[in-house]
Structure 1
Amino acid sequence: MASRLLISKRSLLIAGLSLAALPAIGQEAHPVVTTTNGPVRGQTDGGVAVFKGVRYGADTGPRRFQPPVPPTAWTAPADAFAYGAASPQGGAETNQSEDCLFLNVWSPGLDRERRPVMVYIHGGAYSNGSGSSPLYDGTRLARRNDVVVVTVNHRLNLFGYAFLQRIAGDPFRDSGNAGQLDLHLALEWVRDNIAGFGGDPGRVMVFGQSGGGAKIATMMATPAAAGLFHRAATMSGQQVTASGPWNATRRAEAWLDALSLPKDRAAEAATMPVETLLKAAETTDPVLGFGGLYWGPVLDDRTLRRHPFYPDAPSQSAHIPMIIGNTHDETRAFLGGDLANFELTWEDLPGKMTGREMRIDVAPEPVIAAYRQMYPHYSPSDVFFAATTGARSWRGAVIEAEARAASGSPAWVYQLDWRSPINGGRRGAMHTDDIPLALDNVAATGSRAQGPEAQPMADRLSKAFVAMARDGNPNHTGLPAWDRYDLARRQTMIMDEPPRMEDDPRGGERRLFAAIPYVQPGT
């Protein structure tokens, strides 16, 4: 019977029909899969086996600031029915704990099919979020595309990135990249166990948005992550440079000062209450001069020995095909909440385009003049949002794409231009808008992708990601031919209705900012 179902399933795939009505092969109401740590019991949802809150690492509380370790093995099936805790953070996550090394798996078949594996790494910079958002639910992506989907929790903010090496010495030598080491352990779990969930350990794609993409860019230059994934996709998430050891130390010192801990007592932070540590992290960042403390990967000469994409693309991942994406109006997500930014005058504009908003050291007047020449129809508010986007995250994406092209490494670049109709479209194609499209979750709670074009857009982008996971190439029948990015043409897929290819979109902006030294936000 199983073989007949398998044949039927393949026939439907060839015919391009939906798998939604098919029973999941080899699944019971509460399927059990044996992992290297012990058996786990999941549930089924619409023909997809779902395992939530699967432990991949031990409680980090007793080992605060230390590398993760595998959990103590168990023998009785552990229920994997609910999401595990998120890392402690100042965000809106309701379930937080230092015991946070959990992952989630969605699979359309617990068999020997060896499906592509898509591991989504959440955003929230390096400080907030979890793999448990409704936007990241893998049910539709797994069921509609015959792939295995994984999401991950790991240590964030000070718990994952407080650099105490130069203050507290050898016992804390790995503290600046503990959150990255968690991700490595999670990917080792995938390598060792995903075949039992119907996945192919030789076809693992990591993809992530914002901080998730930055974590991926960092792993592409991290020796310990070599071989743990085979394709990559980043969405508005760049990490050109990491924190240098001195800036990271300055931040750790500012944090210790807020804790009233002198340097010779820094080790006491390993036993202080979580709430106290998080409150102290709200102190003003001594490098940026504003906001709470920035946390992120550190050039510690142990885990991370070079900057992710400086001075070039890392050779260790040159063979890995990569999608690099961004949205046209990134900063409308951060700056569009202030309604006054939509009513700016030309007189207001120079005072708004400060280093805090632009993140590079440039006078506003020549930038404004350049934008008025390139886009004479732009309003002052249009220039404000476009210039802040161009100087910040979009530029990081261009730098990474150019570095990949210069090294001959395969990269496909997209720009989301499609605007959600929310707020009359005034927020544009802003940061985060491609999440529900890539994960095929336009109807999920929190999705901004609405209107009759939302699902067709999700079909285009999600199937490109699936194609990348399956074949190492994002081309599929729902898109025009998508060429690899090169320095001669800078080919970019414009994700819009309809989608189209453009050479060097926003080339004037690219040339404008290329003349100004780039500063990775936060580093």
Structure 2
Amino acid sequence: MTTVVATANGRVRGAVVDGVHVFKGIPYGDSTEGAARFAPPRPAPPWTGVRDATEFGPASPQFPTALRPGDAPILAALFDAPLKHPQSEEMLTVNVWSGGLDGPANRPVIVHLHAGAFQFGWSSWPMYDGGSLARDGDAVVVSLTYRLGVLGFLYLAELGGPEFAHSGNIGLLDVLAALGWVRDNIAAFGGDPGNVTLVGDSAGGGVVTGLMAMPEARDMFHKAFTISVGGSSGVQPDQATAVAEAIIKELGINRGDSLEPLREIKVGRLVRAQLAASARMGEFTFGGSFRFGPVIDGLHLTDSPAQIAARGEAMDVPLLLGSAKDEFTLLAADMAADLDEQRARQIARAMMGDHGETVLDTYWSRRPGATPGDVMLAIWSDSTRISTLRIADGHVSHGSNPVFCYLFCWESPVEGGKYGSTHILDSSFWFNNVDAAPITGNGTERYPLAERMSKALLAFARTGDPNHDGLPEWPAYRVDDRPTMVLDRVCEVSLDPYGAEREVMTQVSARELSHRGL
């Protein structure tokens, strides 16, 4: 069965799947190739007739091992990532799942931004399918594609001048354009444009906190939800410029040369230059940093999102946020297994300077019998948790809207349980799509937790409060006792979970954790 909706640019034809109206690949922006590269997005041109919207649009050009060699098989095996999805610079599209097109346009709207270290990822990822949320919560779910890596976050302002002033945050501007499309069109899909919740996991969560720190994003969404947002402190201009200089050097362009050839080079060559420069500078490691992400450019971002929140200058909206207990097992479980104490202490000092020994000893004292690798995995994982709590602290200290915190502790049974409750494992639970993520295994105990978590997301999207009958009472976060919903086979509220670790880790600066540790 097909279904047709009229948007501001023209009519689109979708499909009805299990009672949900599904539309895929609707353009919200024009092509980003040629002269449009490294420039803010342009509106999508209108069309005549009825445009087919039954297939996902292309992904942003990328190479799915941009994070670390070998990750693509991990993503494919554990998370069913669509690695072979088509890629194109005509990628600015949205996908919509609606619980219904009839009646008043009052359904809550959930806009999701995918994970991928700001360098790769897909709105077509099966675990992000919006059908369950739309159907179970009579909601409207939107996912979108935006420019990544060298196309979305290559900071050229100091190398190319005012013409490239926006280049370091093009990915954020794409998302803003998509939110503008939602504002102008979502009522036609049954959604309430005045009740939009922006959701992002991992790098997508970094986009959410980045937008909350940008004045031009105010009033573009009304609630925010971040999943495992560590590492989102923003890239400093000097670091971003060094990355850009390394990339243009790979392309035979020297500092001081015209950057116009960057708009003419084939996109595949740009992505290969990104990978080559990253390898030459040092891959994403615990002594390195993210090579791409929102840049503190003084134009769109004046400081890190955490610092802007700490000053009370971030967008004041209801906020739901949290992380997983074992964030870094996905990246480092195998490497950590080979660590001895001497190497663990070297890494801790590299991450946190003289304070590293104190951190390591504190974690070890709280984990009798743990191996050096176990302790380092806990410290690396808490880099994400502490970054998340810094954002929560800033918002609750200055904002008028509630903040709700969670800690995801359900452990994956696959591969002997070595991943525990790892990074973005909880994403499939929030979307009630655990069968789409092989890492969740095949046990039936997954389903009750997925139902509780997805209902919490739906409640938050509808009212700004995640409480519902399937969970114990979830109090708003407070700095004095830090109530946190622990999500596991049994869900319960814990006051300041892993408090001793939190206390010793918060003595490490956010810049050290984000740029040296993550």
Native 8 Å contact 1:220 1:314 kept in 2: no
Amino acid at match of 1:268: P
2:179 pairs with 1:187: yes
Amino acid at match of 1:133: W
Native 8 Å contact 1:207 1:232 kept in 2: yes
Which residue of 319, 323, 342 corresponds with 1:326? 323
The corresponding residue for 1:104 is: 95
**Deviations, residues 294-322 of structure 1 (Å, cap 9, x unaligned):** 11111222222332121544645553001
**Deviations, residues 440-474 of structure 1 (Å, cap 9, x unaligned):** 00111545254121111111111111111000101
2:41 pairs with 1:44: no
Provide the secondary structure at the position in 2 that maps to 1:31. Answer: strand
Provide the secondary structure at the position in 1 that maps to 2:258. Answer: helix
Amino acid at match of 2:20: V
Equivalences for residues 266-285 of structure 1 within 5 A: 266-285=259-278
2:108 pairs with 1:116: yes
Native 8 Å contact 1:217 1:238 kept in 2: no
Amino acid at match of 1:511: E
Amino acid at match of 1:216: V
Aligned mates of 2:302, 2:366 — CA distance in 1: 40
Native 8 Å contact 1:319 1:410 kept in 2: no
Aligned mates of 2:141, 2:398 — CA distance in 1: 30
Which protein is bigger by CA-based radius of gyration? 1
Native 8 Å contact 2:213 2:308 kept in 1: no
The corresponding residue for 2:344 is: 349
Amino acid at match of 1:310: Q
Aligned mates of 1:484, 1:104 — CA distance in 2: 32
Amino acid at match of 1:418: W
Provide the secondary structure at the position in 1 that maps to 2:259. Answer: helix
Which residue of 49, 66, 86 corresponds with 1:76? 49
Report deviation, 1:75.
Answer: 2.0
Amino acid at match of 2:47: W
2:514 pairs with 1:521: yes
Report deviation, 1:165.
Answer: 1.2
Provide the secondary structure at the position in 2 that maps to 1:310. Answer: helix
Native 8 Å contact 2:105 2:188 kept in 1: no
Native 8 Å contact 2:324 2:409 kept in 1: yes
2:80 pairs with 1:87: no
Native 8 Å contact 1:42 1:49 kept in 2: yes
**Identical residues among aligned pairs (%):** 37
Aligned mates of 2:32, 2:311 — CA distance in 1: 30
Equivalences for residues 369-384 of structure 1 within 5 A: 369-384=361-376
Aligned mates of 2:128, 2:242 — CA distance in 1: 35
Native 8 Å contact 2:63 2:271 kept in 1: yes
Which residue of 408, 416, 427 corresponds with 1:424? 416
2:208 pairs with 1:216: yes
Report deviation, 1:343.
Answer: 5.7
**Deviations, residues 217-258 of structure 1 (Å, cap 9, x unaligned):** 000011121111111110001465211222211111111111
**Deviations, residues 341-360 of structure 1 (Å, cap 9, x unaligned):** 336554553355563xxx44
Structure 2 portions without partners, runs of 5+: 65-82
Structure 1 portions without partners, runs of 5+: 1-28
Aligned mates of 1:449, 1:106 — CA distance in 2: 26
Amino acid at match of 1:56: Y
Amino acid at match of 2:301: L
Aligned mates of 2:354, 2:142 — CA distance in 1: 42
**Deviations, residues 314-345 of structure 1 (Å, cap 9, x unaligned):** 64555300111100000001102x2x533655
Provide the secondary structure at the position in 2 that maps to 1:323. Answer: strand
The corresponding residue for 2:501 is: 509
The corresponding residue for 2:398 is: 407
Higher RCO structure (Cα 8 Å, ≥6 apart): 2
Native 8 Å contact 2:9 2:44 kept in 1: yes
Equivalences for residues 89-488 of structure 1 within 5 A: 89-91=62-64, 92-111=83-102, 112-238=104-230, 241-263=233-255, 264-285=257-278, 289-291=282-284, 294-310=291-307, 312-313=309-310, 315=312, 317-336=314-333, 338=334, 341-342=336-337, 344-346=339-341, 349-351=344-346, 353=348, 355=350, 359-362=351-354, 364-390=356-382, 392-408=383-399, 409-448=401-440, 450-488=442-480
> What is the RMSD computed on CA atoms of the aligned residues?
2.1
Change over 3 Å in CA distance of 1:271–1:132 after alignment to 2: same
Native 8 Å contact 1:494 1:500 kept in 2: yes
Change over 3 Å in CA distance of 1:113–1:423 after alignment to 2: same
Native 8 Å contact 1:53 1:83 kept in 2: yes
Aligned mates of 2:354, 2:381 — CA distance in 1: 14
Provide the secondary structure at the position in 1 that maps to 2:199. Answer: strand
Amino acid at match of 2:164: F
Report deviation, 1:522.
Answer: 4.6
Report deviation, 1:141.
Answer: 1.3
Report deviation, 1:211.
Answer: 0.4
Change over 3 Å in CA distance of 1:368–1:239 after alignment to 2: closer
Native 8 Å contact 2:12 2:51 kept in 1: yes
The corresponding residue for 2:77 is: none
Aligned mates of 1:290, 1:255 — CA distance in 2: 14
Aligned mates of 1:133, 1:495 — CA distance in 2: 23
Report deviation, 1:167.
Answer: 1.1
Report deviation, 1:418.
Answer: 1.1
Aligned mates of 1:251, 1:347 — CA distance in 2: 32
Size of the alignment, in residue pairs?
Answer: 489
Change over 3 Å in CA distance of 1:311–1:145 after alignment to 2: closer
Amino acid at match of 2:58: A
Native 8 Å contact 1:437 1:449 kept in 2: no
Aligned mates of 2:173, 2:473 — CA distance in 1: 38
Provide the secondary structure at the position in 2 that maps to 1:281. Answer: helix
Provide the secondary structure at the position in 1 that maps to 2:306. Answer: coil
